[in-house]
A and B are shown apart, each in its own frame.
Chain A
Amino acid sequence: MNDVLMILTACSVAIPASLLGVLLVSKSLVMVGDAISHAVLPGIVVAYLLSGTRDSVPMLAGAAITGFLTTFLIDFLRKKWKVQEDAAIGFTFTFLFAIGVLMIALFAGKNSDLDQECVLYGDLETSILDQVIIGEYLYGTRAILQLLPLTITLLLVIFIGFKGWKVWAFNPQFGSFIGIPMQVFHLVLMLLLSIHAVLSFESVGVILVVGLLVLPAATALLFSKTLAKTFWYSACIGMVSCILGVFLGKWINISISPLIVCVNGLIFLTSVFISPNKKSISTN
Protein backbone atom coordinates (compact mmCIF):
# COMPACT_ATOMS: atom_id res chain seq x y z
CA MET A 1 0.00 0.00 0.00
CA ASN A 2 2.75 2.40 0.97
CA ASP A 3 4.53 1.71 -2.30
CA VAL A 4 1.44 2.61 -4.27
CA LEU A 5 0.95 5.75 -2.20
CA MET A 6 4.59 6.66 -2.68
CA ILE A 7 4.41 6.18 -6.44
CA LEU A 8 1.18 8.18 -6.67
CA THR A 9 2.62 11.01 -4.59
CA ALA A 10 5.80 11.11 -6.68
CA CYS A 11 3.75 11.04 -9.89
CA SER A 12 1.51 13.84 -8.67
CA VAL A 13 4.64 16.02 -8.56
CA ALA A 14 6.34 14.60 -11.63
CA ILE A 15 3.44 14.71 -14.10
CA PRO A 16 2.69 18.45 -13.88
CA ALA A 17 6.46 19.09 -13.71
CA SER A 18 7.10 17.15 -16.90
CA LEU A 19 4.30 19.03 -18.70
CA LEU A 20 5.48 22.46 -17.53
CA GLY A 21 9.00 21.35 -18.45
CA VAL A 22 8.06 20.86 -22.10
CA LEU A 23 7.10 24.52 -22.35
CA LEU A 24 10.27 25.59 -20.54
CA VAL A 25 12.71 23.42 -22.48
CA SER A 26 11.22 23.99 -25.92
CA LYS A 27 11.48 27.74 -25.40
CA SER A 28 14.90 27.66 -23.70
CA LEU A 29 13.42 28.96 -20.45
CA VAL A 30 15.00 26.32 -18.21
CA MET A 31 16.85 28.96 -16.19
CA VAL A 32 13.59 30.78 -15.56
CA GLY A 33 12.00 27.56 -14.28
CA ASP A 34 14.97 27.05 -12.01
CA ALA A 35 14.63 30.64 -10.81
CA ILE A 36 10.92 30.46 -10.04
CA SER A 37 11.20 27.22 -8.09
CA HIS A 38 13.80 28.82 -5.79
CA ALA A 39 12.43 32.33 -5.68
CA VAL A 40 9.05 31.32 -4.26
CA LEU A 41 10.77 30.51 -0.95
CA PRO A 42 10.43 33.97 0.68
CA GLY A 43 6.77 33.96 -0.43
CA ILE A 44 6.23 30.64 1.33
CA VAL A 45 7.98 31.81 4.49
CA VAL A 46 6.09 35.11 4.68
CA ALA A 47 2.80 33.31 4.11
CA TYR A 48 3.70 30.81 6.83
CA LEU A 49 4.72 33.53 9.29
CA LEU A 50 1.59 35.58 8.65
CA SER A 51 -0.89 32.73 8.77
CA GLY A 52 0.94 30.51 11.25
CA THR A 53 -0.03 27.42 9.33
CA ARG A 54 1.10 25.46 6.32
CA ASP A 55 -2.35 25.71 4.84
CA SER A 56 -2.27 25.82 1.11
CA VAL A 57 -4.27 29.00 0.49
CA PRO A 58 -1.88 31.56 2.04
CA MET A 59 1.09 29.56 0.72
CA LEU A 60 -0.29 29.69 -2.80
CA ALA A 61 -0.94 33.40 -2.55
CA GLY A 62 2.61 33.93 -1.29
CA ALA A 63 4.01 31.83 -4.11
CA ALA A 64 1.95 33.52 -6.78
CA ILE A 65 3.09 36.95 -5.60
CA THR A 66 6.78 36.01 -5.42
CA GLY A 67 6.49 34.16 -8.71
CA PHE A 68 5.22 37.29 -10.44
CA LEU A 69 7.72 39.43 -8.55
CA THR A 70 10.53 37.24 -9.91
CA THR A 71 9.23 37.51 -13.47
CA PHE A 72 8.89 41.27 -13.26
CA LEU A 73 12.25 41.74 -11.54
CA ILE A 74 14.06 39.72 -14.21
CA ASP A 75 12.25 41.65 -16.94
CA PHE A 76 12.94 44.98 -15.28
CA LEU A 77 16.66 44.33 -14.84
CA ARG A 78 16.94 43.16 -18.40
CA LYS A 79 14.94 45.89 -20.10
CA LYS A 80 15.40 48.97 -17.94
CA TRP A 81 18.86 48.45 -16.53
CA LYS A 82 20.15 46.49 -19.55
CA VAL A 83 21.50 43.66 -17.40
CA GLN A 84 22.13 40.60 -19.57
CA GLU A 85 19.41 37.99 -19.21
CA ASP A 86 21.30 35.14 -17.50
CA ALA A 87 22.83 37.57 -15.01
CA ALA A 88 19.40 39.07 -14.29
CA ILE A 89 17.95 35.61 -13.65
CA GLY A 90 20.95 34.50 -11.59
CA PHE A 91 20.77 37.60 -9.43
CA THR A 92 17.00 37.56 -8.89
CA PHE A 93 16.53 34.00 -7.78
CA THR A 94 19.64 33.58 -5.64
CA PHE A 95 18.86 36.88 -3.92
CA LEU A 96 15.22 35.98 -3.21
CA PHE A 97 16.15 32.43 -2.21
CA ALA A 98 18.83 33.69 0.20
CA ILE A 99 16.29 36.05 1.77
CA GLY A 100 13.95 33.08 2.20
CA VAL A 101 16.63 30.93 3.86
CA LEU A 102 17.56 33.78 6.21
CA MET A 103 13.92 34.33 7.12
CA ILE A 104 13.54 30.66 8.03
CA ALA A 105 16.67 30.79 10.18
CA LEU A 106 15.61 34.00 11.89
CA PHE A 107 11.90 33.62 12.38
CA ALA A 108 10.66 30.13 11.82
CA GLY A 109 12.94 28.53 14.44
CA LYS A 110 13.80 24.94 15.03
CA ASN A 111 10.50 23.81 16.44
CA SER A 112 8.31 24.91 13.57
CA ASP A 113 7.39 22.58 10.75
CA LEU A 114 9.19 24.74 8.21
CA ASP A 115 12.91 24.10 8.26
CA GLN A 116 15.73 24.53 5.78
CA GLU A 117 16.27 20.82 5.22
CA CYS A 118 12.65 20.27 4.35
CA VAL A 119 12.57 23.20 1.92
CA LEU A 120 15.85 22.37 0.23
CA TYR A 121 15.65 18.63 -0.10
CA GLY A 122 12.06 17.68 0.58
CA ASP A 123 11.20 14.26 1.86
CA LEU A 124 8.92 11.96 -0.06
CA GLU A 125 8.98 9.34 2.69
CA THR A 126 7.63 11.82 5.27
CA SER A 127 5.20 13.51 2.94
CA ILE A 128 3.27 10.27 2.38
CA LEU A 129 2.59 10.09 6.12
CA ASP A 130 0.47 13.20 5.73
CA GLN A 131 -2.63 11.28 4.71
CA VAL A 132 -6.15 12.46 4.23
CA ILE A 133 -8.53 10.01 5.85
CA ILE A 134 -12.21 10.82 5.97
CA GLY A 135 -14.33 8.33 7.84
CA GLU A 136 -12.71 5.00 7.17
CA TYR A 137 -11.45 5.77 3.73
CA LEU A 138 -8.00 6.88 2.71
CA TYR A 139 -8.34 9.52 0.01
CA GLY A 140 -4.63 9.93 -0.64
CA THR A 141 -1.77 12.00 0.67
CA ARG A 142 -2.09 15.74 1.09
CA ALA A 143 0.43 16.22 -1.73
CA ILE A 144 -1.72 14.20 -4.14
CA LEU A 145 -4.90 16.04 -3.23
CA GLN A 146 -3.20 19.43 -3.58
CA LEU A 147 -1.42 18.67 -6.84
CA LEU A 148 -4.33 16.95 -8.54
CA PRO A 149 -6.33 20.17 -9.09
CA LEU A 150 -3.17 21.84 -10.41
CA THR A 151 -2.56 18.96 -12.82
CA ILE A 152 -6.14 19.07 -14.07
CA THR A 153 -5.97 22.85 -14.51
CA LEU A 154 -2.65 22.52 -16.30
CA LEU A 155 -4.02 19.87 -18.64
CA LEU A 156 -7.01 22.06 -19.47
CA VAL A 157 -4.82 25.11 -20.00
CA ILE A 158 -2.53 23.16 -22.34
CA PHE A 159 -5.35 21.40 -24.16
CA ILE A 160 -7.62 24.41 -24.72
CA GLY A 161 -4.79 26.81 -25.46
CA PHE A 162 -2.70 24.33 -27.42
CA LYS A 163 -2.47 26.36 -30.63
CA GLY A 164 -1.54 29.42 -28.65
CA TRP A 165 1.17 27.58 -26.72
CA LYS A 166 2.55 26.26 -29.97
CA VAL A 167 2.82 29.76 -31.43
CA TRP A 168 4.17 31.16 -28.14
CA ALA A 169 6.91 28.56 -27.88
CA PHE A 170 7.83 28.45 -31.56
CA ASN A 171 7.35 31.91 -33.03
CA PRO A 172 5.96 34.45 -30.55
CA GLN A 173 6.82 37.33 -32.88
CA PHE A 174 4.30 35.92 -35.36
CA GLY A 175 1.73 35.51 -32.58
CA SER A 176 2.12 39.09 -31.41
CA PHE A 177 2.01 40.33 -34.97
CA ILE A 178 -1.32 38.70 -35.79
CA GLY A 179 -2.67 39.92 -32.45
CA ILE A 180 -2.52 37.03 -29.95
CA PRO A 181 -1.53 38.36 -26.50
CA MET A 182 1.71 36.41 -26.13
CA GLN A 183 2.71 38.05 -22.84
CA VAL A 184 -0.33 36.46 -21.17
CA PHE A 185 1.02 32.99 -22.00
CA HIS A 186 4.30 33.82 -20.33
CA LEU A 187 2.55 35.03 -17.18
CA VAL A 188 0.23 32.01 -17.03
CA LEU A 189 3.23 29.70 -17.28
CA MET A 190 5.05 31.56 -14.50
CA LEU A 191 1.95 31.43 -12.29
CA LEU A 192 1.51 27.69 -12.79
CA LEU A 193 5.22 27.14 -12.15
CA SER A 194 5.07 29.10 -8.89
CA ILE A 195 2.07 27.11 -7.68
CA HIS A 196 3.75 23.86 -8.64
CA ALA A 197 6.92 24.86 -6.79
CA VAL A 198 4.98 25.50 -3.58
CA LEU A 199 2.92 22.35 -3.72
CA SER A 200 5.87 20.10 -4.46
CA PHE A 201 8.62 21.42 -2.21
CA GLU A 202 7.69 19.22 0.75
CA SER A 203 7.97 16.08 -1.32
CA VAL A 204 11.03 16.75 -3.45
CA GLY A 205 12.49 20.08 -2.34
CA VAL A 206 13.15 23.19 -4.41
CA ILE A 207 16.40 21.90 -5.89
CA LEU A 208 15.37 18.48 -7.16
CA VAL A 209 12.10 19.77 -8.58
CA VAL A 210 14.17 21.43 -11.32
CA GLY A 211 15.33 17.95 -12.39
CA LEU A 212 11.71 16.86 -12.69
CA LEU A 213 10.91 19.96 -14.73
CA VAL A 214 13.80 19.69 -17.14
CA LEU A 215 14.87 16.07 -17.61
CA PRO A 216 11.68 14.32 -18.82
CA ALA A 217 11.00 17.19 -21.23
CA ALA A 218 14.56 17.27 -22.54
CA THR A 219 14.43 13.49 -23.09
CA ALA A 220 11.03 13.71 -24.79
CA LEU A 221 12.31 16.39 -27.17
CA LEU A 222 14.96 13.97 -28.41
CA PHE A 223 12.31 11.62 -29.75
CA SER A 224 9.37 13.70 -30.88
CA LYS A 225 8.71 15.76 -33.94
CA THR A 226 5.58 17.53 -32.70
CA LEU A 227 4.80 19.47 -29.56
CA ALA A 228 1.79 17.28 -28.75
CA LYS A 229 3.94 14.15 -28.77
CA THR A 230 6.55 15.89 -26.63
CA PHE A 231 3.93 16.45 -23.91
CA TRP A 232 2.86 12.79 -23.99
CA TYR A 233 6.39 11.39 -23.98
CA SER A 234 7.48 13.75 -21.24
CA ALA A 235 4.60 12.79 -18.92
CA CYS A 236 5.26 9.08 -19.55
CA ILE A 237 8.98 9.44 -18.83
CA GLY A 238 8.12 11.34 -15.65
CA MET A 239 5.83 8.53 -14.48
CA VAL A 240 8.22 5.71 -15.38
CA SER A 241 11.03 7.42 -13.50
CA CYS A 242 8.82 7.67 -10.39
CA ILE A 243 7.95 3.98 -10.48
CA LEU A 244 11.58 2.96 -11.05
CA GLY A 245 12.75 5.39 -8.38
CA VAL A 246 10.38 4.09 -5.73
CA PHE A 247 11.24 0.42 -6.33
CA LEU A 248 14.98 1.06 -6.55
CA GLY A 249 14.79 3.14 -3.37
CA LYS A 250 13.01 0.34 -1.51
CA TRP A 251 15.49 -2.16 -2.82
CA ILE A 252 18.67 -0.34 -1.87
CA ASN A 253 17.00 1.47 1.05
CA ILE A 254 17.91 5.01 0.10
CA SER A 255 16.17 8.40 -0.11
CA ILE A 256 13.72 8.30 -2.99
CA SER A 257 13.38 11.79 -4.46
CA PRO A 258 17.05 12.21 -5.44
CA LEU A 259 16.88 8.70 -6.83
CA ILE A 260 13.96 9.65 -9.09
CA VAL A 261 15.97 12.58 -10.45
CA CYS A 262 19.00 10.29 -10.93
CA VAL A 263 16.87 7.79 -12.85
CA ASN A 264 15.66 10.68 -15.00
CA GLY A 265 19.23 11.77 -15.61
CA LEU A 266 20.24 8.25 -16.67
CA ILE A 267 17.23 7.96 -18.98
CA PHE A 268 18.24 11.27 -20.55
CA LEU A 269 21.88 10.28 -21.02
CA THR A 270 20.94 6.94 -22.55
CA SER A 271 18.47 8.68 -24.85
CA VAL A 272 21.08 11.13 -26.09
CA PHE A 273 23.08 8.19 -27.43
CA ILE A 274 20.23 6.34 -29.07
CA SER A 275 17.97 9.17 -30.21
CA PRO A 276 17.33 10.00 -33.86
CA ASN A 277 17.39 13.76 -33.09
CA LYS A 278 20.91 13.71 -31.69
CA LYS A 279 21.88 16.59 -33.90
CA SER A 280 19.33 18.86 -32.32
CA ILE A 281 20.97 19.03 -28.92
CA SER A 282 24.47 19.43 -30.27
CA THR A 283 23.45 22.53 -32.20
CA ASN A 284 21.70 24.14 -29.26
Chain B
Amino acid sequence: MKKAIEISDLTVYYRDTLALDHVSLSIDAGKITGIIGPNGSGKSTLLKGILGIIPVKKGEVTFFGNSLEKYRSKIAYVPQRESIDWDFPITVEEVVAMGRIRPKKWWSRTTLADKEIVKETIKKVQLSEFSTRQIGQLSGGQQQRVFLARALAQEAELIVMDEPFVGIDMASQDSILSIVQKLRDSGKTVVIVHHDLSVVAQYFDDVVLLNKKLIASGPIDEILKSENIEKAYGMTLLLNKEKGRF
Protein backbone atom coordinates (compact mmCIF):
# COMPACT_ATOMS: atom_id res chain seq x y z
CA MET B 1 0.00 0.00 0.00
CA LYS B 2 1.30 3.41 -0.95
CA LYS B 3 1.97 5.68 1.99
CA ALA B 4 0.59 9.23 1.93
CA ILE B 5 2.19 10.43 5.14
CA GLU B 6 5.10 8.89 7.03
CA ILE B 7 5.86 10.29 10.45
CA SER B 8 8.86 9.24 12.45
CA ASP B 9 9.64 10.19 16.02
CA LEU B 10 7.51 13.35 16.12
CA THR B 11 7.83 15.16 19.45
CA VAL B 12 6.10 18.45 20.21
CA TYR B 13 6.21 20.64 23.31
CA TYR B 14 3.86 23.51 24.20
CA ARG B 15 6.20 25.68 26.25
CA ASP B 16 7.33 23.05 28.80
CA THR B 17 4.44 20.64 28.44
CA LEU B 18 4.93 17.53 26.37
CA ALA B 19 2.11 17.40 23.81
CA LEU B 20 3.31 14.60 21.55
CA ASP B 21 5.75 11.95 22.66
CA HIS B 22 7.90 10.28 19.96
CA VAL B 23 5.06 9.46 17.60
CA SER B 24 5.87 7.30 14.57
CA LEU B 25 3.20 6.15 12.17
CA SER B 26 2.19 6.05 8.54
CA ILE B 27 -1.06 6.88 6.78
CA ASP B 28 -2.15 5.02 3.66
CA ALA B 29 -2.85 6.82 0.41
CA GLY B 30 -6.37 6.72 -1.01
CA LYS B 31 -8.12 6.14 2.32
CA ILE B 32 -10.05 8.10 4.90
CA THR B 33 -8.02 7.99 8.10
CA GLY B 34 -9.37 9.22 11.43
CA ILE B 35 -7.06 10.53 14.10
CA ILE B 36 -8.89 9.69 17.30
CA GLY B 37 -8.25 10.40 20.95
CA PRO B 38 -9.71 12.18 23.99
CA ASN B 39 -9.51 15.94 24.49
CA GLY B 40 -5.96 17.13 24.98
CA SER B 41 -4.48 13.96 23.49
CA GLY B 42 -2.54 15.88 20.86
CA LYS B 43 -4.67 15.15 17.79
CA SER B 44 -4.73 18.70 16.47
CA THR B 45 -1.13 19.10 17.55
CA LEU B 46 -0.21 16.13 15.39
CA LEU B 47 -1.88 17.74 12.36
CA LYS B 48 -0.39 21.16 12.95
CA GLY B 49 2.99 19.66 13.68
CA ILE B 50 3.20 17.65 10.47
CA LEU B 51 1.93 20.60 8.43
CA GLY B 52 4.51 22.96 9.93
CA ILE B 53 1.85 25.22 11.44
CA ILE B 54 3.41 24.84 14.90
CA PRO B 55 7.10 24.20 15.61
CA VAL B 56 8.14 20.65 16.43
CA LYS B 57 10.93 19.65 18.77
CA LYS B 58 11.96 16.59 16.87
CA GLY B 59 10.87 14.23 14.14
CA GLU B 60 10.57 13.81 10.40
CA VAL B 61 7.56 13.80 8.13
CA THR B 62 7.29 12.95 4.45
CA PHE B 63 4.35 13.28 2.08
CA PHE B 64 4.38 10.64 -0.67
CA GLY B 65 8.13 10.55 -0.09
CA ASN B 66 8.54 14.33 -0.38
CA SER B 67 9.33 17.02 2.12
CA LEU B 68 6.52 19.35 3.23
CA GLU B 69 8.03 22.17 1.17
CA LYS B 70 7.88 20.15 -2.02
CA TYR B 71 4.42 18.77 -1.39
CA ARG B 72 2.78 21.85 0.21
CA SER B 73 0.83 22.88 -2.89
CA LYS B 74 -0.97 19.52 -2.99
CA ILE B 75 -2.24 19.68 0.60
CA ALA B 76 -5.46 21.36 1.69
CA TYR B 77 -5.97 22.08 5.38
CA VAL B 78 -9.45 22.64 6.83
CA PRO B 79 -9.07 24.44 10.18
CA GLN B 80 -11.19 23.93 13.29
CA ARG B 81 -14.38 25.96 13.10
CA GLU B 82 -13.67 27.75 16.35
CA SER B 83 -10.40 29.15 14.99
CA ILE B 84 -12.26 31.25 12.42
CA ASP B 85 -13.60 34.79 12.96
CA TRP B 86 -17.15 34.32 11.69
CA ASP B 87 -17.94 38.04 11.96
CA PHE B 88 -15.29 38.91 9.40
CA PRO B 89 -16.74 40.74 6.37
CA ILE B 90 -16.34 38.02 3.79
CA THR B 91 -18.82 36.02 1.70
CA VAL B 92 -19.00 32.31 0.99
CA GLU B 93 -17.69 32.67 -2.56
CA GLU B 94 -14.78 34.83 -1.41
CA VAL B 95 -13.66 32.17 1.08
CA VAL B 96 -13.91 29.44 -1.54
CA ALA B 97 -12.04 31.62 -4.06
CA MET B 98 -9.09 31.69 -1.65
CA GLY B 99 -8.59 28.07 -2.65
CA ARG B 100 -7.70 29.27 -6.15
CA ILE B 101 -4.96 31.68 -5.06
CA ARG B 102 -1.60 30.79 -6.57
CA PRO B 103 0.95 31.36 -3.82
CA LYS B 104 3.64 32.68 -6.15
CA LYS B 105 1.20 35.02 -7.89
CA TRP B 106 -1.21 35.71 -5.04
CA TRP B 107 -1.91 39.25 -6.27
CA SER B 108 -3.17 38.18 -9.72
CA ARG B 109 -6.85 38.55 -10.56
CA THR B 110 -9.21 35.61 -10.37
CA THR B 111 -9.56 34.12 -13.85
CA LEU B 112 -12.83 33.12 -15.45
CA ALA B 113 -11.82 29.46 -15.22
CA ASP B 114 -11.18 29.92 -11.50
CA LYS B 115 -14.56 31.58 -11.04
CA GLU B 116 -16.17 28.61 -12.75
CA ILE B 117 -14.35 26.17 -10.43
CA VAL B 118 -15.46 28.21 -7.41
CA LYS B 119 -19.06 28.10 -8.57
CA GLU B 120 -18.94 24.36 -9.24
CA THR B 121 -17.35 23.68 -5.86
CA ILE B 122 -19.97 25.67 -4.01
CA LYS B 123 -22.59 23.63 -5.84
CA LYS B 124 -20.91 20.40 -4.77
CA VAL B 125 -21.28 21.33 -1.09
CA GLN B 126 -24.86 22.47 -1.74
CA LEU B 127 -24.36 26.09 -0.83
CA SER B 128 -25.17 27.72 -4.18
CA GLU B 129 -28.08 29.73 -2.80
CA PHE B 130 -25.86 31.11 -0.03
CA SER B 131 -22.83 32.05 -2.12
CA THR B 132 -23.12 35.80 -1.56
CA ARG B 133 -23.93 35.53 2.13
CA GLN B 134 -21.58 36.75 4.83
CA ILE B 135 -20.20 33.61 6.51
CA GLY B 136 -21.56 34.50 9.94
CA GLN B 137 -25.09 34.23 8.55
CA LEU B 138 -24.79 30.46 8.06
CA SER B 139 -25.49 27.47 10.30
CA GLY B 140 -22.59 25.54 11.81
CA GLY B 141 -22.86 22.78 9.24
CA GLN B 142 -22.97 25.23 6.36
CA GLN B 143 -19.93 27.02 7.75
CA GLN B 144 -18.02 23.76 7.87
CA ARG B 145 -18.98 23.06 4.26
CA VAL B 146 -17.65 26.47 3.18
CA PHE B 147 -14.19 25.47 4.33
CA LEU B 148 -14.51 22.02 2.82
CA ALA B 149 -15.37 23.79 -0.45
CA ARG B 150 -12.24 25.90 -0.17
CA ALA B 151 -10.22 22.70 0.21
CA LEU B 152 -11.98 21.19 -2.83
CA ALA B 153 -11.21 24.34 -4.83
CA GLN B 154 -7.53 23.82 -4.05
CA GLU B 155 -7.75 20.54 -5.97
CA ALA B 156 -5.39 18.96 -3.47
CA GLU B 157 -4.23 15.34 -3.32
CA LEU B 158 -4.25 15.27 0.46
CA ILE B 159 -7.08 16.86 2.46
CA VAL B 160 -6.54 17.33 6.17
CA MET B 161 -9.52 18.30 8.36
CA ASP B 162 -9.44 19.36 12.01
CA GLU B 163 -12.61 18.32 13.90
CA PRO B 164 -15.04 18.92 11.03
CA PHE B 165 -17.95 17.17 12.75
CA VAL B 166 -18.03 19.17 15.97
CA GLY B 167 -21.27 21.01 16.72
CA ILE B 168 -22.99 20.48 13.39
CA ASP B 169 -26.32 18.89 12.50
CA MET B 170 -26.71 15.33 11.18
CA ALA B 171 -27.63 16.41 7.65
CA SER B 172 -24.41 18.39 7.38
CA GLN B 173 -22.39 15.52 8.83
CA ASP B 174 -23.81 13.17 6.22
CA SER B 175 -23.25 15.66 3.45
CA ILE B 176 -19.61 16.22 4.47
CA LEU B 177 -19.08 12.49 4.80
CA SER B 178 -20.43 11.77 1.35
CA ILE B 179 -18.18 14.43 -0.20
CA VAL B 180 -15.20 13.02 1.65
CA GLN B 181 -16.06 9.52 0.42
CA LYS B 182 -16.27 10.78 -3.15
CA LEU B 183 -12.84 12.34 -2.72
CA ARG B 184 -11.47 9.00 -1.55
CA ASP B 185 -13.14 7.15 -4.39
CA SER B 186 -11.43 9.48 -6.84
CA GLY B 187 -8.06 8.53 -5.33
CA LYS B 188 -7.46 11.36 -2.86
CA THR B 189 -6.26 10.86 0.68
CA VAL B 190 -8.29 12.32 3.54
CA VAL B 191 -7.14 12.69 7.14
CA ILE B 192 -9.69 13.76 9.75
CA VAL B 193 -9.16 14.62 13.40
CA HIS B 194 -12.14 13.43 15.42
CA HIS B 195 -12.85 13.00 19.12
CA ASP B 196 -16.14 11.09 19.22
CA LEU B 197 -15.74 7.32 19.33
CA SER B 198 -19.35 6.41 18.64
CA VAL B 199 -19.39 7.02 14.90
CA VAL B 200 -15.82 6.06 14.06
CA ALA B 201 -16.72 2.80 12.35
CA GLN B 202 -19.03 4.43 9.78
CA TYR B 203 -16.71 7.29 9.01
CA PHE B 204 -13.22 5.95 8.57
CA ASP B 205 -11.30 3.22 6.76
CA ASP B 206 -8.27 3.46 9.05
CA VAL B 207 -7.77 5.00 12.45
CA VAL B 208 -4.88 6.32 14.47
CA LEU B 209 -5.51 6.13 18.22
CA LEU B 210 -3.60 8.77 20.06
CA ASN B 211 -3.07 9.89 23.62
CA LYS B 212 0.14 11.89 23.58
CA LYS B 213 1.78 8.66 22.49
CA LEU B 214 0.65 6.49 19.62
CA ILE B 215 -1.69 3.82 21.03
CA ALA B 216 -2.42 1.96 17.81
CA SER B 217 -2.92 2.57 14.12
CA GLY B 218 -4.30 0.53 11.22
CA PRO B 219 -7.56 -0.68 9.64
CA ILE B 220 -10.60 0.14 11.74
CA ASP B 221 -11.73 -3.40 12.64
CA GLU B 222 -8.28 -4.34 13.92
CA ILE B 223 -7.74 -1.24 15.97
CA LEU B 224 -11.06 -0.67 17.69
CA LYS B 225 -10.50 -3.31 20.37
CA SER B 226 -11.43 -2.58 23.93
CA GLU B 227 -7.87 -2.73 25.22
CA ASN B 228 -6.77 -0.04 22.77
CA ILE B 229 -9.76 2.14 23.58
CA GLU B 230 -9.04 1.76 27.25
CA LYS B 231 -5.42 2.73 26.70
CA ALA B 232 -6.46 5.84 24.82
CA TYR B 233 -9.57 6.85 26.75
CA GLY B 234 -9.56 4.78 29.95
CA MET B 235 -7.56 6.97 32.24
CA THR B 236 -9.24 10.08 30.95
CA LEU B 237 -12.71 8.66 31.54
CA LEU B 238 -11.79 7.79 35.10
CA LEU B 239 -10.26 11.18 35.71
CA ASN B 240 -13.31 12.94 34.34
CA LYS B 241 -15.54 10.84 36.57
CA GLU B 242 -13.57 11.86 39.61
CA LYS B 243 -13.94 15.50 38.68
CA GLY B 244 -17.68 14.92 38.37
CA ARG B 245 -17.96 15.76 34.70
CA PHE B 246 -18.18 12.42 33.05
Q: Which residues of A come within 8 Å of B, CB atoms? A: 26, 82, 160-164, 166-167, 169-171, 173-174, 176-180, 221, 224-227, 229-230, 277, 279-280, 283-284
Contacts and interface: CB of A to CB of B under 8 A. Distances in A.
B91 A171 contact: no
Interface of B: 15, 51-53, 72-73, 75, 77, 79, 83-85, 87-91, 94-95, 98, 101, 103-104, 106-107, 133-134, 136, 154
Nearest to B72: A179
A163 B106 contact: yes
B106 to A, nearest CB: 5
B136 to A, nearest CB: 6
Given A164-B107, A170-B85, A180-B106, 8 more contacts: A163-B101, A166-B90, A179-B73, A179-B104, A225-B89, A225-B91, A226-B89, A277-B87
A170 B88 contact: yes
B101 A169 contact: no
A169 B88 CA distance: 9
A147 B90 CA distance: 30
19 contacts: A160-B107, A162-B107, A163-B106, A164-B107, A167-B98, A173-B53, A174-B77, A174-B98, A177-B52, A178-B103, A224-B89, A225-B89, A225-B90, A225-B134, A227-B90, A230-B89, A280-B87, A280-B136, A283-B87
Contacts of B79: 171, 173-174
Given A167-B98, A171-B98, A280-B136, A177 B88 contact: no
A161 B95 CA distance: 16
Contacts of B98: 163, 166-167, 171, 174
A205 B235 CA distance: 60
Nearest to B78: A174
B82 to A, nearest CB: 13
A164 B136 contact: no
A258 B51 CA distance: 49
A163 to B, nearest CB: 6
Contacts of B91: 225-226
Contacts of B103: 178-180
Nearest to A178: B103
Instruction: Tell me which of B15, B84, B106, B133 has the highest count of chain A C-beta atoms within 10 A of its own C-beta.
Output: B106
B176 to A, nearest CB: 19
B72 A178 contact: yes
A177 B77 contact: yes
Contacts of A173: 53, 79, 83
Instruction: Tell me which of A162, A221, A226 has the highest count of chain B C-beta atoms within 10 A of its own C-beta.
Output: A226
Contacts of A230: 89
Instruction: Tell me which of B72, B87, B91 has the highest count of chain A C-beta atoms within 10 A of its own C-beta.
Output: B87
